[in-house]
Structure 1
Amino acid sequence: MTHVVTDACIKCKYTDCVDVCPVDCFKQGPDFLVIDPDECIDCAVCIPECPVNAIYADTDTPEQFEPFLEINARLSKLWPTISKRIAPLPDAELWKDKTNKLAGLDLG
């Protein structure tokens, strides 16, 4: 089992989860984070740390967020590892309660 970062992280990029990850499985993109499924050890310590509830176990991912399983797997191979907390994006507070943010994001 692995964990997955979903829609709520987009345009926020809170990194509280990164500080508690024992294996540095988070990868950083310009607008959000993903989890490398090959690095994640299923410890689940990141879930309660996420202030926007963006992280799920892959087996508990709500149906509307299932595309994020593939997105995390693909982008984790392209983006660099992040292992220390950084400031959220400047407009994070404006975006944190919005939904369906994936539609406007260019994933290459």
Structure 2
Amino acid sequence: MASTEPAHQGSFASQHLSMICKYIGISFVAGAVSHGVFSGLRSLMTAGIGVVMFLIGQFIETRQKGDTRGLGLSLLLGALLAIGMGFFYGKFAAFPRFTRA
């Protein structure tokens, strides 16, 4: 008979920490993209910190689920998505003020 218990879930605190790390990471990347035109190396460092924060959050989430078979692929795709979302939201945060209709 199949088990009706839910899949392994982490505590609320670890779920929350995972989500916070991922959002902080995306925010750092978005900020680096928004202000990168003006700050050079500092923006690369900020984006790097953002990607690392996102990867930490992704790692915590993957460990909570208990399925670490696809951890490498999950981290790679997560990093690419964090950078992509950072570019997307960073563009909307700063660049419309530089365009004229």
* TM-score, normalised relative to structure 2: 0.27
Return the index of the structure with the highest Cα Rg.
2
Structure with the higher helix share, 1 or 2:
2
TM-score under structure 1 length normalisation: 0.26
More strand per residue: 1
